[in-house]
Chains A and B, each alone.
Chain A
Amino acid sequence: MELTGAQIVVQALIQEGVIDIFGYPGGAVLDLYDALDQQDAIRHVLVRHEQGAVHAADGYARASGRTGVALVTSGPGVTNAVTGIATAYMDSIPLVVLSGQVPTRVIGSDAFQEVDAVGITRPCVKHNFLVKDVAELAVTIKKAFHIAGSGRPGPVLVDIPKDVSQAKRRFVYPKEIELRSYRPVTRGHPGQIRRALQLMLTARRPVLYTGGGVILDRAAAELTELARLLGFPVTNTLMGLGGFPGTDPLFLGMLGMHGTYEANMAMHEADVVVAIGARFDDRVVGNVSKFCPRAKIIHMDIDPASISKTVKVDVPIVGSVKLVLSDMLTLLHQSGRRPDGEALAAWWAAIEGWRSADCLRYDRHSAVIKPQQVIEQLYQLSNGEAIVTSDVGQHQMWAAQFYKFDRPNRWINSGGLGTMGFGLPAAIGAKLACPDDQVICVTGEASIIMCIQELSTALQYQVPITVVNLNNRYMGMVRQWQEFFYAKRYAMSYMAALPDFVKLAESFGHVGFQVKEPEQLRATLEQALAMRDRLVFVDVLTDPTENVYPMIPTGAGHNEMILV
Chain B
Amino acid sequence: MRHIISVLLENESGALSRVAGLFSARGYNIELLTVGPTQDPSLSRMTIVTSGSDEIVEQILKQLNKLIEVVKVLLLTEKEHVERELLLVKVMAQGAMRDEIIRLTEIFRGHIVDVTETCYTVEVTGDGEKIKAFLRTLPTADIQEVVRTGVAAIARGETTWRLP
Contacts and interface: CB of A to CB of B under 8 A. Distances in A.
Interface string A293-335: 0000000000111011100000000000000000000000000
A179 B17 CA distance: 20
A407 interface: no
A309 B25 CA distance: 15
B62 interface: yes
B66 A303 contact: yes
Interface in B137-164: 163
A400 to B, nearest CB: 29
Query: Majority SS of interface residues in chain B?
Result: helix
B2 interface: no
B10 interface: yes
Given A181-B69, A181-B71, A122 B18 contact: yes
Interface string A97-131: 00000000000000000000011001100110010
Contacts of B18: 122
Contacts of A122: 17-18, 21
Given A122-B18, A127-B68, A305-B63, 15 more contacts: A123-B21, A123-B25, A126-B68, A130-B14, A147-B68, A180-B71, A180-B163, A181-B10, A181-B68, A181-B69, A303-B66, A304-B65, A304-B66, A308-B55, A309-B59
B9 interface: yes
Nearest to B163: A180
A182 interface: yes
A130 B128 CA distance: 38
B58 interface: yes
A444 B70 CA distance: 43
A151 to B, nearest CB: 9
Contacts of A180: 71, 163
Give the interface size class of chain A: 10 to 19
Interface in A323-367: none
Interface residues of B, number: 19
Interface of A: 118-119, 122-123, 126-127, 130, 147, 179-182, 303-305, 307-309
Interface of B: 9-10, 14, 17-18, 21, 25, 55, 58-59, 62-63, 65-66, 68-71, 163
B68 A305 contact: no
Nearest to A312: B55
Contact of A181 (B17, B25, B62, B70): B70
B12 to A, nearest CB: 9
Contacts of A303: 66
A126 B58 CA distance: 20
Contact of A182 (B17, B58, B68): B68
Nearest to A303: B66
A123 B17 CA distance: 10
Contacts of B21: 122-123
A181 B9 contact: yes
Nearest to A143: B68
Contacts of B14: 118, 130
A159 to B, nearest CB: 11
A274 to B, nearest CB: 21
Contacts of A181: 9-10, 68-71
A92 to B, nearest CB: 12
Contacts of A130: 14
Contacts of A127: 68
